[in-house]
Amino acid sequence: MSFTRLPFTSLPWAVGAHPLEKKKLVPGHSVGLLEFEPDFEDPNWCTRGHIIYVLDGTLELGLDGGAAEQVQAGDGCVLARGTPHRARNPGDRPVRLVIVSADD
């Protein structure tokens, strides 16, 4: 049996690749707490697999082919590996989410 605490409350926020993104990543694990400020839009496409649970705000996921899906606080989604996507905050308040990413 194994137990790993995810110490989000004690981890410092780190600036992400985008200036309107910050994150708390658990060392040695593919799980994190992300926050996207209003007007955040990731310019890069990602194809990693993810499980996402939105804690606050609304997350918009742009999908390959022009489709977009919105995930509200209290809901989550699963993105299969190989599904091109990119995140965006369409709202006027921060989006905070828990993400588990597939290992590369």
Distance of alpha carbon 88 from alpha carbon 91, whole angstroms: 9
8 A C-beta contact, residue 103 and residue 97: no
8 A C-beta contact, residue 83 and residue 69: no
Q: Which two tokens stand for residue 78?
A: 């699963």
pLDDT (tens digit per residue) in 64-89: 888 999 999 999 999 999 999 999 99
Q: So what's the pLDDT on residue 103? A: 74
Q: So what's the pLDDT on residue 65? A: 86
Q: Stretch 12-25: mean pLDDT, rounded?
A: 95
**pLDDT above 70 covers what percent of the chain?**
99
Query: What mean pLDDT is reported for the chain?
Result: 95
pLDDT band per the 50, 70, 90 thresholds, residue 104: low
Q: Stretch 18-27: mean pLDDT, rounded?
A: 94
Q: Which helix (H) or strand (E) holds 36?
A: strand 31-36
Q: Closest Cα partner for 54 from 71, 39, 30?
A: 71
pLDDT band per the 50, 70, 90 thresholds, residue 1: confident
Residue 32 CA, distance from chain mean position: 8
8 A C-beta contact, residue 46 and residue 35: no
Q: Which domains does the chain show, CATH number per domain?
A: 22-101 (2.60.120.10)
pLDDT (tens digit per residue) in 39-51: 999 999 999 999 9
Residue 34 CA, distance from chain mean position: 5
